[in-house]
Amino acid sequence: EVQLVESGGGLVQAGGSLRLSCAASGLDIDDYAVGWFRQAPGKEREGVSCISSRDGLTWYADSVKGRFTISSDNAKSTVYLQMNSLRAEDTAVYYCAAQNIRRYYYKGWFSGEMDYWGKGTLVTVSS
């Protein structure tokens, strides 16, 4: 059974940092783009970042470029999101997701294209 399990969410002050983890089981992360979406109350789910581990290519939403860094550890089958310089507007439930790498190359990082989802972890940034 494929599972994506997020951890690392919590409460942090504006300007602070958190590191999210997504532990994947039942799939080889080299066969997928793996990354993150987020959804704030009353807002649409939006792509945050993803990585294709096989070639090391990464993508970031404009709103997080320069502040967030995504990475992967194939030995641990885990993808990380280092979140620095956090802002109140980063407050959201963050979801890990995985997409077949071939479809990712063609379609891009959109929520409707995902093959698997985690249950989410809440990040709250206080101002």
CB 8 within 8 A of CB 20: yes
Task: Report pLDDT digits (tens) over 87-112.
Answer: 999 999 999 999 999 999 999 999 99
pLDDT of residue 50: 98
Q: In angstroms, what CA-CA distances link 56 with 30, 31, 43, 70, 72?
A: 10, 12, 30, 10, 9
For the chain, what is the mean pLDDT? 97
**Can you say how many angstroms the Cα of residue 12 is from the centroid of all Cα atoms in its chain?**
18
pLDDT of residue 83: 98
pLDDT of residue 115: 98
Task: Report pLDDT digits (tens) over 57-70.
Answer: 999 999 999 999 99
Other beta carbons within 10 angstroms of residue 66's beta carbon come to 9
Q: What is the mean pLDDT of residues 123-127?
A: 96
